[in-house]
Amino acid sequence: MNQPPQHQQPPGNQHEMEPRPDCGEESYEGHGRLTGKAAVITGGDSGIGRAVAIAYAREGADVLISYLSEHEDAQDTARYVEQAGRRAVLVPGDVSDPQHCRDVIAKAVEEFGRVDVLVNNAAYQMTRETLEEIPDEEWDFTIATNLSAMFHLCKAALPHMGPGSSIIGSSSVNSDNPNPTLAPYAATKAAIANFCASLAQLLGERGIRVNSVAPGPIWTPLIPATMPPEKVEKFGDDVPLGRPGQPAELASVYVLLASDEASYVSGARIAVTGGRPIL
Residues with active-site annotation:
185
CA 114/CA 105 separation, integer angstroms? 9
CA 119/CA 168 separation, integer angstroms? 5
**Residues near 25 by beta carbon (within 8 Å), at least 6 away in sequence:** 54, 80
Task: Judge contact between 137 and 154, C-beta under 8 A.
Answer: no
Task: Judge contact between 121 and 97, C-beta under 8 A.
Answer: no
Task: Judge contact between 150 and 169, C-beta under 8 A.
Answer: yes
Beta-strand relationship, 117-120 and 88-92: unpaired
Burial category of 110 from C-beta neighbours within 10 Å (exposed 0-12, middle 13-18, buried 19 and up)? exposed
Note if the bond before 19 is cis, omega within 30 degrees. Answer: yes
Angle at alpha carbon of residue 40, lines to 179 and 277, rounded to 5°: 30
Note if the bond before 229 is cis, omega within 30 degrees. Answer: no
Angle at alpha carbon of residue 232, lines to 11 and 279, rounded to 5°: 90
CA 78/CA 251 separation, integer angstroms? 16
CA 204/CA 267 separation, integer angstroms? 9
